[in-house]
């Protein structure tokens, strides 16, 4: 793998300039694959987003887009996932059905996916950076001895067809474009809400290629004893909120977070924060927005007292409208905010809340927005 700092796919150069050459045994790898993550028969939203991005990459390379479905035929089964794959742009679906794949376990899923890759030879394999996706991607990449770029914020292909996967460096101060030059498939994981959701188009199921899982239950160390659903959890749903109000160290004290809650309650939004507030214990970790927290794509994001370092930027830059409130007119957040307000957040937030309250009806019930625990985050 080769990492090129401060470089975006738009100005990336081809493989020849790196002095590397793809091994001959990988030259017949073609097509873009997206792993369709399932939970109780429902496709994870990140898989839909990746199908949209995979379609763009496949069109650019002139190859097919495939959805990869691993699951059991029992219960809801895999049919809904197959239908979704074609509705969101797949040309073909690869299917492995087995009772051993009814619940996620690393061993059978890794075996199924690596066997598929070895047999059908994709050039690009994309997975969601979920708990399941991260676990599976790492195991598959290790087994195949190929490169994996995690938590990407941008994907593209360069002049010679290499996948250019861009992600923040661990220090967070740079964006790094990473290439897998001498092995295939080129693998990457992407968080939910980083990519836009494509338009759904109802169309019939296309070609489905089935593959058998050659594994027995006795060979699997992990056993599923029970499934405990957490649908009743009060954890935040910031990733799917249409409106988010975020706060940073510029608010000065934990008690001042009430200004965020008042505004969020008035306009029907969720409350989030930058990493320093979680580190100080002012807010729970499930409210953190940024590289090591939630990635959000709301219609409106209001950031109060947040400097806007790259770690935070990568988590919010997909928002339709970013309004930044900060006393420091040189704060990095003004470089990417759509509207910048140079003001004291402690004075501006109450005034903004009052202005909204005069023009909007009370939000006693907001459908589809994150209203959880707005009053218990001291």
Q: Note whether 108 and 77 are within 8 A (CB).
A: no
Name the packing angle between helices 258-267 and 345-359 (round to 10°): 20
The answer to whether residue 76 scores a pLDDT higher than 70 is: yes
Average pLDDT of the chain is 87
* DSSP 8-state assignment for residue 26: G
Torsion sign across C-alpha atoms 354, 360, 363, 366: negative
What pLDDT does residue 166 have?
A: 92
Q: Which pLDDT value is given to residue 58?
A: 97
- As a whole-number percent, the residues of the chain with pLDDT over 90 amount to 69
Is the pLDDT at 371 greater than 70, yes or no? no
Q: pLDDT tens digits for 105-161?
A: 999 999 999 999 999 999 999 999 999 999 999 999 999 999 999 999 899 999 888
Q: How many CB atoms lie within 10 A of CB 98?
A: 18
Query: Mean per-residue pLDDT for 324-350?
Result: 96
Angstrom CA distances, 161 to 30, 31, 32, 156, stand at 11, 11, 12, 9
Query: 66 vs 174, which has greater pLDDT?
Result: 66
| pLDDT tens track for 187-224 | 999 988 889 999 999 888 899 999 999 999 999 999 98
Distance CA 274, CA 94 (A): 40
| Contact call for residues 84 and 98 (beta carbons, < 8 A) | no
For residue 280, the model assigns a pLDDT of 95
Q: What CA–CA distance (Å, rounded) separates 125 from 123?
A: 7
Confidence (pLDDT) at 160: 84
Does 363 score more than 60 pLDDT? no
Query: Does the pLDDT value for residue 16 go beyond 60?
Result: no
pTM of the model: 0.79
Residue 17 pLDDT: 52
Residue 181's Cβ-count burial label (10 Å; 0-12, 13-18, 19+) is middle
Residues 6 or more apart from 351 whose CB is under 8 A from it? none
Question: Is the Cα dihedral 215, 217, 222, 223 positive or negative?
Answer: positive
| 284 CB-near residues (< 8 Å, 6+ apart) | 278, 373, 377
Is there a contact between 213 and 108 (Cβ–Cβ < 8 Å)? yes
pLDDT at 235: 55
Q: Is the pLDDT of residue 361 over 80?
A: no
What's the confidence (pLDDT) of residue 368?
A: 38
Of the candidate ranges 231-245, 266-280, 295-309, 328-342, the one whose mean pLDDT is the lowest: 231-245
Q: What local confidence, expressed as pLDDT, does residue 185 receive? A: 97
- Give the bridge partners for 128, in sequence order: 190
User: Which pLDDT score, from 0 to 100, does residue 372 have?
Assistant: 38
Let me know: does 266 contact 371? Beta carbons within 8 Å: no
Whether residue 236 has pLDDT greater than 80: no
**Per-residue pLDDT at 272:** 95
User: Quick one: angle between helices 106-120 and 131-144, nearest 10?
Assistant: 50
**pLDDT interval class at 39 (50, 70, 90):** confident
């Amino acid at each position: 793998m080769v990492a090129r700092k401060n470089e975006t796919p738009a100005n990336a150069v081809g493989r020849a300039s790196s002095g590397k050459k793809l091994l001959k045994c990988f030259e017949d790898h073609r097509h873009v694959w997206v792993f369709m993550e399932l939970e109780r028969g429902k496709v994870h939203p990140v898989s839909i987003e990746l199908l949209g991005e995979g379609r763009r990459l496949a069109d650019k390379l002139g190859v097919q887009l495939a959805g990869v479905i691993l699951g059991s035929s029992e219960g809801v089964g895999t049919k809904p996932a197959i239908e979704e794959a074609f509705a969101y742009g797949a040309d073909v679906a690869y299917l492995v059905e087995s009772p051993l794949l009814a619940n996620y376990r690393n061993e059978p899923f890794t075996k199924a996916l690596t066997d598929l890759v070895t047999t059908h030879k994709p050039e690009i394999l994309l997975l969601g950076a979920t708990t399941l996706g991260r676990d599976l991607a790492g195991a598959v990449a290790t087994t195949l001895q190929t490169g994996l770029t995690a938590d990407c914020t941008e994907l593209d292909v360069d002049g010679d067809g290499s996948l250019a996967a861009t992600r923040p460096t661990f220090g967070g101060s740079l964006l790094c474009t990473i290439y897998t030059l001498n092995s295939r498939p080129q693998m990457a994981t992407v968080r939910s809400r980083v990519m836009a959701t494509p338009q759904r188009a109802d169309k019939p199921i296309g070609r489905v290629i089935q593959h058998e899982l050659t594994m027995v239950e006795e060979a699997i160390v992990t056993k599923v004893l029970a499934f405990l659903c957490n649908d009743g959890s009060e954890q935040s749903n910031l990733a799917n909120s249409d409106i988010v109000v975020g706060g940073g160290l510029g608010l000065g004290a934990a008690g001042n977070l009430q200004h965020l809650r008042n505004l969020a309650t008035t306009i029907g939004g969720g409350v989030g924060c930058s990493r320093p507030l979680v580190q100080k214990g002012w807010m729970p970790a499930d409210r953190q927005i940024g590289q090591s927290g939630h990635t959000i794509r709301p219609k409106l994001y209001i950031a109060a007292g947040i400097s806007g370092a790259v770690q935070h930027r990568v988590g919010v830059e997909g928002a339709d409208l970013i309004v930044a409130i900060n006393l420091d007119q040189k704060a990095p957040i003004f470089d990417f905010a759509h509207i910048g307000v140079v003001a004291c957040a402690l004075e501006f937030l109450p005034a903004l809340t009052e202005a909204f309250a005069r023009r909007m009806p009370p939000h006693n019930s907001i459908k589809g927005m994150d209203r959880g625990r707005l009053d218990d985050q001291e």
